[in-house]
């Protein structure tokens, strides 16, 4: 999700900046089903997910980078359709690969419908389990595990994060939420950290070396928090500034930046060198102007660039938060 560094920035040179129906289009193919996952690339292969909802199937696809032809496709999960938000899909999680295996997540609907938690109007939704699977580059399944419950009126999405020999999964949801790390080779659980606020969010963590600590940082579940990705222990936490988050965070070498969410919108710059609860001590600046709920921001030199859900783009000075 968001490229090798997880921040939406590419170091590639001489890439096109304009496209049309014919300009700078190498090939175009139709993908069966529907899905919101981003494609990921390794050498000459593209990996992405799709949901053939009418068949109750969730697929992982491998395409040829040069031609777009399908090399292989695998049914990862067979499931009845889970409840989703109208802007979500049933194949929203972007896969991850280390060049040896491809890691993918889906939700498997399971159990009787329940009353949706944390919504304004009462309705029944489908609970289920988070399924994580690993395939080699030829499409052979290496392992598949259920890692825990999941319930959300907005549906499912989590993108695997690879770190050293781990696959890390954000299991924020409207129940007993968690972050879980699996062994990359076997799928065996290595550690699990509970998320005490039990509130759905869809943020993919970023991992950075900051101040002599390896920090895995994410917003979500009424907080912004940093964990040690090797064992799941928390370094620091900021309460709020709102309930639900979708956008990934970014780091500029001095501050980490969060934009969100629902029901209030905020942008925060946080000093990531604290310990414990740093709500009152480590927020460098805050604004509510131009904040995004779903779109993730990027850093460009001295500037934080944010596109709000309304489509309005804003450029902020990263040091001060001044909107240019």
- Rounded CA-CA distance 109/135 in Å is 22
The ranges assigned to domains in the chain are: 31-200, 206-324
Average pLDDT, rounded, for the chain: 96
Structure tokens at 231: 């064992």
- The reported pLDDT for the residue numbered 313 is 97
Place of tokens 């259920």: 146
Nearest-angstrom CA–CA distance, 12 and 110? 43
Q: Token pair 């949801």 is at which residue? A: 173
In 3-state terms, what secondary structure has residue 53? helix
CB 75 within 8 A of CB 59: yes
Q: What's the pLDDT score for residue 120?
A: 87
Output the pTM of the full model: 0.96
What are the CA-CA distances from residue 60 to residues 99, 105, 192, 219 (Å)?
Answer: 16, 10, 26, 28
Predicted local confidence at residue 144, as pLDDT: 98
Q: What confidence score (pLDDT) does residue 11 get?
A: 86
**Sheet-wide strand order for 256-260:** 250-251, 256-260, 266-270, 283-287
275's enclosing H/E stretch is none
Highest CATH level, class, for 31-200: mainly beta
- For domain 206-324, the CATH class is mainly beta
The reply to whether 31-200 and 206-324 are identical in fold is yes
d(CA 100, CA 85): 34
pLDDT, tens only, 174-190: 999 999 999 999 999 99
Percent pLDDT > 90 in the chain is 94
């Amino acid at each position: 999700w968001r490229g090798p560094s997880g921040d939406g920035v590419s170091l590639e040179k001489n890439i096109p900046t304009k496209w049309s129906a014919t300009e700078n289009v190498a090939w175009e193919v139709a993908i069966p089903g529907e899905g919101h996952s981003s494609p990921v690339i390794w050498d000459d292969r593209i990996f992405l997910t799709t949901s053939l909802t009418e068949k109750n199937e969730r697929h992982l696809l491998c395409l040829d980078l040069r031609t777009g032809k399908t090399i292989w496709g695998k049914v990862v999960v067979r499931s009845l359709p889970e409840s989703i938000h109208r802007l979500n899909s049933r194949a929203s999680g972007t896969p991850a690969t280390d060049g040896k295996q491809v890691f993918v997540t889906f939700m498997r609907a399971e159990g009787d419908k329940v009353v949706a938690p944390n919504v304004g109007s009462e309705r029944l939704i489908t609970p289920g389990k988070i399924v994580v699977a690993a395939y080699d580059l030829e499409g052979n399944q290496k392992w598949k595990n259920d890692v825990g419950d999941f319930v959300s009126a907005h549906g499912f999405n989590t993108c695997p994060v690879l770190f050293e020999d781990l696959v890390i999964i954000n299991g924020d949801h409207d129940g007993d939420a968690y972050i879980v790390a699996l062994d990359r080779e076997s799928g065996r659980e290595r550690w699990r950290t509970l998320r005490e606020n039990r509130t759905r969010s869809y943020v993919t963590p970023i991992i950075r070396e900051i101040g002599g600590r390896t920090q895995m940082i994410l917003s979500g579940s009424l907080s912004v928090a940093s964990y040690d990705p090797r064992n799941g222990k928390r370094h620091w936490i900021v309460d709020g500034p709102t309930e639900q988050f979708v956008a990934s965070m970014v780091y500029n070498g001095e501050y980490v930046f969060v934009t969100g969410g629902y029901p209030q919108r905020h942008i925060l710059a946080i000093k990531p060198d604290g310990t414990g609860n740093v709500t009152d001590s480590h927020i460098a600046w805050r604004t509510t102007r131009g904040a995004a709920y779903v779109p993730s921001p990027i850093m460009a030199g001295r500037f934080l660039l944010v596109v709000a859900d309304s489509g309005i783009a804003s450029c902020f000075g990263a040091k001060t938060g001044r909107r240019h």
